[in-house]
Amino acid sequence: MQCLAYSTDRGRTWQKYSGNPVLDIGSNDFRDPSVFWHESTSKWIMVVALPSQRKVSFYGSPNLKNWIHLSDFGNNHEIVGGCECPDFFPLAVDGNPNNVKWVLEVDVDPGHPTGFAGGQYLIGDFDGMTFTVEDDSFEIPYGYLIEDFESDDYGNWIVTGTAFGTGPAHGSFSNQLPVTGFIGSGFVNSYLNGDQSRGTLTSPEFCIVKDFINFLIGGGYHPGQTCINLIVNSNVVRTMTGQNSEYLDWRSWDVSEFRGEDAKIQIVDDHSGSWGHINIDHIILSDEVVELPSDRALWVDYGKDFYAVRSWSGIPEYDGRRIWIAWMGTVMYGWCTPTSPWRNAQTIPRNVALKTFAEGIRIVQNPVRELKNLRCEHFRLSNQIVTENNTLLLGDSINRNAVEIKAKFELSTASEFGIKVHKGDNEETIIGYDVTTRNLFIDRSHSGLVNFHPEFPGVHLAPLLPDLNCVKLQIFVDWSSIEVFGNDGKVVITDLIFPNPNNNEIEVYAKTGDVILNSIDIWTMKSIWDGVSTMTEPESESSEVFPSEIKLYQNYPNPFNPTTRIQFFLPLSQHVSLTIYNLLGMPIRTLLDQKMQSGMHIVRWDGTNKFGQKVSSGVYLYRLHSSKDVKIGKMLLMG
């Protein structure tokens, strides 16, 4: 039910309305209202989630107290998982006020590309009554229908036990959540006698004459116990279980290897605990695999830690922005993140817009401009060639745990490139781009504390095509989070990370080839609790704020065993040599003796001499020599 509270003192205090509830449909599966005033129809609109039905309902009211049902959305498998926290608002496409579309955002679980929860959005039109999406086409693949369960009984199917009764169900049973997603009026539902009953339902034998079997499935997640099986030669060769949902969703098997063989379908309910039932409908042999709803879904964020996003209403019209913010966390491990006394946080506020691309209209998100107030020291490099053996390590120059990074890469021969942050002591978080798969990604497998939950470590991908052969990144790195905006916010990835606070190096890297770093700007960021500075703007494109002379940095790690990295900066392209000496002044090994481009460079030493032999532990000197300058550093090799 939905209730009303009101304030008469500008939100200082609130009173519950004596006529509550203002809307009650007799269901607990009815929540998370989003309410706004619809000017053109002069009424309030409420958008409410029906999670287990994968629907949202629209209601209208002239006074917030009396509501009527307007319409439902989600009847055609548009929403890919159990949904909640809807947000609904208009946006001008490409900033054109004469071309306005409506955005419906719902948070779904499961269904997200990470395998768990995340924000899906749909774009369409709203007339004050009904929301219609731009492309709601969904076609069941043509093929041979094995069974649609539209008869009064199971025909020649063999029934055992008590779970399936004598014929298909035509809706939910007593004490069962609403079952949705089936086609027609009949489907298999083993909740007939609750979750306690068991049984099987087995089809007559048929010949596999197509490459795929498509079907609708819902019910409990109990592999091998609440499931649908394909049996060939008395063996189970394919199986699928439910997802603890009463919504029937499309799934497929590739059965091309069994083409021409005889087979049977067996539906199993062999679990008597919670979610101990199975729902099945519309089993089809086809030459096409069914398009899953998730295959055509649009996603707000591709990370694992962006959920329950909410946008602000009442932003002044002259401002013109739609701004939203989300919970940076997930129900999967949000309760056990290794922080104290707090857990999880909010994302940075983002400006949301609609932009036209070749593939259609899409949301773009960018950090709000007010975040520039937090910028402090600024570092910049441009026109660098990064290779696997010549990365750019930015450590001593930028010694902060919170930074903003803006980088532009031009594709060359590298198969992968990107930026590593919070690097040091075998820890790193990688923001990378895979040239072959055209995926932007965050890899937090080695980002620090990752073993507090088995679902935390991993790689999260976002599809991103280069723009004029370039990939642009804007990255906000904080003590325990990272938010990555690709190609001016076309895709975003948000993830929590828990690195050692002493590990704050930044490295630009490439694999199996080179990449051109057109520019990289890095700002250290002050805490919002420290107050804000005067609004700052980016330095001019020609500004170079790295050292104006050769600089040799302290090696890292130091002390070390067996390998260390030596970092240096060249203001101009020039010939340099880098040599290791012992304390007697005897040369041990020359690591570098060649012309190098301007910029930051890193060279590794593995503790061996020029013959490849391990040297003894002790203090060593490293000497960087150019035609105009000599720099010397000291390091300790541990035994």
Q: Please report the domains of the chain, with CATH numbers, ordered by start residue.
A: 143-290 (2.60.120.260), 369-530 (2.60.120.560), 551-637 (2.60.40.1930)
- Chain centroid to Cα 115, Å, comes to 10
Q: What is the pLDDT of residue 388?
A: 87
Q: What is the pLDDT of residue 542?
A: 35
Distances (CA, A) of 496 to 110, 115, 144, 281, 459: 19, 16, 47, 40, 12
Distances (CA, A) of 50 to 10, 58, 127, 175, 420: 31, 11, 21, 17, 41
Q: From the CB of residue 342, how many other CB atoms can be counted at a distance below 10 Å?
A: 7
Flag whether the pTM goes above 0.85.
Answer: no
Q: Which of 636, 631, 571, 627 is nearest to 605 (CA)?
A: 636
Q: What is the pLDDT of residue 536?
A: 37
The per-residue b/e assignment along 241-263, b for 16 or more CB within 10 angstroms, e otherwise, is bbbbbbbbbbbbbebeebeeeeb
The dihedral sign for the CA sequence 604, 610, 614, 616:
negative
Q: What is the pLDDT of residue 537?
A: 39
Contact 388, 513 (CB under 8 A): yes
Q: Which of 611, 610, 575 is nearest to 594 (CA)?
A: 575
Could you give the CA distance from residue 542 to residue 608 in angstroms, rounded to a whole number? 41
Q: What is the pLDDT of residue 398?
A: 67
Q: Which of 446, 447, 443 is nearest to 432 (CA)?
A: 443
Q: What is the pLDDT of residue 353?
A: 97
Q: Which of 136, 42, 45, 120 is nearest to 89 (CA)?
A: 45
What's the chain's average pLDDT? Answer: 90
Q: What is the pLDDT of residue 600?
A: 75
Q: What is the pLDDT of residues 88-131, one digit of tens each?
A: 999 999 999 999 999 999 999 877 888 888 999 999 999 999 99
Q: What is the pLDDT of residue 627?
A: 84
Q: What is the pLDDT of residue 397?
A: 57
Q: What is the pLDDT of residue 308?
A: 94
Q: What is the pLDDT of residue 532?
A: 45
Q: What is the pLDDT of residue 128?
A: 96
Q: Which of 502, 610, 605, 600 is nearest to 555 (CA)?
A: 605
DSSP-derived 3-state class of residue 38: strand
Q: Please, what's the largest Cα pairwise distance for the chain?
A: 96
Which stretches in the chain have pLDDT values below 50?
532-545
